[in-house]
Amino acid sequence: MAKDRRGLGRWGEEHARRYLLDRGCTQVAANWRCAAGEVDLIVLDEGQLVFVEVRTRRGRAYGTPQESITPKKLARMATVAQSYVYEQGWEGPWRLDAIAIELIPGAPPQVEWYQNVSM
Predicted confidence (pLDDT) per residue in 61-111, tens digit? 667 788 888 889 999 999 999 999 999 999 999 999 999 999 988 889 999
CA angle 84, 88, 91 (to 5 degrees): 95
**pTM beyond 0.75, yes or no:** yes
Beta bridge partners of 117: none
pLDDT value, residue 118 = 77
- Fold exhibited by the domain 5-114: Trna Endonuclease; Chain: A, domain 1 (3.40.1350)
CA angle 77, 49, 41 (to 5 degrees): 55
CA angle 89, 38, 21 (to 5 degrees): 75
pLDDT value, residue 6 = 78
* Segment holding 117, helix H or strand E: none
